[in-house]
Amino acid sequence: MQLGFLARYGKKLMRKLSGLIGLGPVAVLLGGLLIAGQARAGDIDYYNGSSGAGAATVFGNPNGPISTNDSNNATAMGTGGPSANILSVTKIFTAVGPLDMSFHVSDAPTAEGAPGFTSYLFQENVVNHTGSDWTDYHFQLGFGTGANFQLAAAPSALQFDPTYAPTSTNFATCVPGPYTVDWSNGLLPNGGLGGFTVQVIVPDTIDANAPKFALDPAGGGYNFTLRQIPSVTPLFGVTNSEGSTPIAYGNQLTNHATPTVADQGVFTGPKAGSSILNVGGGGGSYAVAEATNINNGAGDATNWFEADGFRAGDEELDAFQVDVNGSLATQAQVDALIAEANGIGLQQGITLSDTAPAPDPFSGLNASGGGYNLYLDEASTTADKFIGWDLSQTNDPNLVGYTITAVAVVPEPMSLGLLGIGAIGLLARRRRVA
């Protein structure tokens, strides 16, 4: 018999005994488990366990009953401070991916019969055993686990407490929201330990928009999920221009002439006076946009740019000049970079190669810099894209001395692509650990 069923059955029996005897809240010992007394105002009464990219315990237990010290201590607007209901959580991630913690909530109303709210302060110790350094960390509230997870949405009263400021020992920037808390601007290295706190407001019932499978027909109440996701910054990544710019990749490549601007470049091609690379032309015939003499600054190999002027259905082809310790990288050094990027993971269909496309739209460009030696193919798109790279030692300590000093971009019809892709035979591998 499963522990979750025992807890819910014991809770129903406990209610019946309370009503018959008239003694108020009681505790029932069933099957060796101590089931907490009558819950009020949306109390968490059971931890169902964890699943996904690791394992999580509450007070050292992989699952089991939860006691609430201060029921009905919040409103839909928040608690006004740290909750007295503290859940001590330990998480061990063995892979980079979602880890789901499922909780059962009782549906008992307050003594006055009105809907109630109880807040819980999650104090977490998180261990990174994934083989990769994490560059950001994310909390999500919702329903269901694994592929069935659904993020909570308005008007759900299940939410992160807006009156409590989440904390992290490893990340400096927090973007809190009703159903998500996102941490960035920091590092949790492989083998490291991180500390986090978040506070969750739990209502006694869920709204009609919540998925039906969240309801518990056997014991009453509902189940919700606290999902957590660590992630790494790929060496190369893209985002749609309609979305947010890839801040994780540092400064934007600009056309500034001020010597103190670390990300400046000399722009050529169509609309060279712009601060983004603008391609020109149409109908399959385009002019290449180029930026050379990029100054990343001492020890900084992080940047991003936007390529403008694409037609729907075109691929984006990019060329980079990669230097190592101030000299043009050899093919072996470029191949090591590609293997490292494949090991960390490339976003949104990006493919890298040390072989130029045929025909080569970048031929003869960047002559003073030594030429291009790394090529990127980004799948067909309906929008201009931000392309970012992060070769910094914080992101990957295996790439010592790598920088990018020039970049060029051109759209191509889908039928062309990078004919050299796949020819180098580099296999994706896990990121090496320094």
328: its two tokens: 């043009």
Dihedral angle of Cα 152, 157, 158, 160, to the nearest 10 degrees: 100
Looking at residue 107, its pLDDT comes to: 65
The CA distance from 66 to 197, in Å, is 18
Looking at residue 213, its pLDDT comes to: 87
Helix, strand, or coil (residue 210): coil
According to the 3-state scheme, what is the secondary structure of 291-356? EECCCCCCCCCEEEEEEECCCCCEEEEEEEEEEECCEECCHHHHHHHHHHHHHHCCCCCCEEECCC
The CA distance from 108 to 11, in Å, is 11
Is 408 in contact with 266 (CB distance < 8 Å)? no
Output Rg (C-alpha) for the chain, integer angstroms: 27
Residue 289's nearest CA partner among 253, 318, 252 is 318
- Helices (H) then strands (E): counts for the chain: 2, 30
Give Cα 401 distance to the centre of its chain: 28
150: its two tokens: 């659904």
The CA distance from 162 to 76, in Å, is 10
408: its two tokens: 């060029």
CA distances from 116 to 76, 80, 105, 110 (A): 8, 16, 12, 6
Please confirm whether the linkage preceding 62 is cis (ω < 30° from 0): no
> Any residues with CB less than 8 A from the CB of 2 and at least 6 apart, and which?
none
Give Cα 159 distance to the centre of its chain: 19
3-state helix, strand, coil in the chain (%, to 5): 10, 40, 50
**Tens of pLDDT, residue by residue, the chain (434 residues):** 333 333 333 333 333 333 333 333 323 222 222 333 444 467 999 999 999 999 999 999 999 999 999 988 999 899 999 999 999 999 999 988 899 999 999 865 444 556 689 999 999 999 999 887 787 899 999 999 999 999 998 888 999 999 999 999 999 989 999 999 999 888 898 899 999 999 999 998 887 778 888 888 776 789 999 999 998 777 887 776 655 667 667 778 888 766 666 678 888 877 677 778 877 766 556 778 899 988 765 555 788 888 877 777 777 889 999 999 889 999 999 999 998 888 776 665 788 999 998 888 898 888 778 889 999 988 766 667 788 888 877 677 778 889 899 999 987 654 444 434 333 333 333 333 33
- What pairs with residue 52 in β-bridges? 99
Domain boundaries, the chain: 1-37, 39-231, 236-413
Please confirm whether the linkage preceding 155 is cis (ω < 30° from 0): yes
Looking at residue 34, its pLDDT comes to: 31
Residue 226's nearest CA partner among 207, 199, 208 is 199
- What pairs with residue 299 in β-bridges? none
Residue 215 per-residue DSSP state: B
Is 199 in contact with 313 (CB distance < 8 Å)? no
Is 350 in contact with 390 (CB distance < 8 Å)? no
